[in-house]
Amino acid sequence: MRRALLPAALLLAAQFATGCTSGTDSAAPATPGPAARTVPPAATDTRIGVLFLAELTGPRMCTASVVDSPRRNLLVTAAHCVQSTERGRFDDLVFAPGYREGRAPYGVWPVASVTVDPRWSQGEDPDYDVAFLTVEEVQGRQIQDLLGANRLGFGLGSDLPVTVTGYPHEGEAPVTCSARTGAQSATQERFECSGYTVGTSGSPWLTADGQVVGVIGGYQEGGDTDAISYSVAFDQRVADLYRRATA
């Protein structure tokens, strides 16, 4: 998995000691195929950023991104980044869009609410490993008014060309890779590109026209190696969750 939910003290210790806090094996043998590359500074996607615990200097959790919503304040990420049956929900997350080299050029946005499906919160069903987060206003502005937002794409199936951008814990800059999605099962998709280690859970799967059709999560909480990543299929289940989050 790409993100293990630990108590804050252990998260902080793990961050400095190992650069990761989950079972993802970043040293697993490489598989043939594309590999993620570091995003150049000028190409940093301002709609994608890092979820931190409590503050910018706190433990790094996962990746999240801004998605279009009526109130213009919505993020999408993986449910396992924000809640587990063992430890409950993290209520003090903040989001740093466009994070790079320790800086948050577009501000730090406190998370106001978290929406996950009951089948995740009650039993961590991997078919519901997706979450929507609202963030508070910063200096009187909603995050979408400042940065814009990507649209959500529902029911588009597999075999889609996508670009996946996320923030591994071992680096201070995002990585990105483009490939085609594949069907892992009737409810899960897969993406084969190496370099997606701990911290990349929640990374959006973006089509060329700016639709988010997945986030790293789902099966194996995103993948047990860095070479194959998974996502809940963005079908009616995710559309229903989005409606709940924006009601």
User: What residue ranges define each of the domains in the chain, with the CATH number in brackets?
Assistant: 8-20+46-149+240-246 (2.40.10.10), 151-235 (2.40.10.10)
pLDDT above 90 for 76? yes
**Mean pLDDT across the stretch 48-70?**
96
The residue among 152, 182, 188, 180 whose CA lies nearest residue 164 is 180
Read off the pLDDT of residues 99-122 as tens digits, 9 standing for 90 and up. Answer: 999 999 999 999 999 999 999 999
DSSP letters for 113-172 = EEE--HHHHTT--GGG--EEEEE--BTTB-HHHHH--BEE--S--SS-EEEEEE--TT-S
pLDDT above 90 for 26? no
**Mean pLDDT across the stretch 161-178?**
96
Average pLDDT, rounded, for the chain? 88
Instruction: Measure the N-to-C terminal CA separation of the chain; round to a whole number of Å.
Output: 31
Least confident of 7-16, 68-77, 115-124, 190-199: 7-16
Please tell me the predicted confidence (pLDDT) of residue 23: 32
- Residue 151 CA to residue 157 CA, distance in Å, equals 16
pTM of the entire predicted model: 0.88
**Mean pLDDT across the stretch 178-207?**
96
Bridge partners (DSSP) of residue 115 are 132
Instruction: Label residue 4 by pLDDT band (50, 70, 90).
Output: very low
Phi, psi of 47 (to 5 degrees): -90, -5
Instruction: Label residue 133 by pLDDT band (50, 70, 90).
Output: very high
Token pair for 200:
């990349």
**Mean pLDDT across the stretch 192-213?**
96
Report the percentage of the chain scoring pLDDT > 70: 87
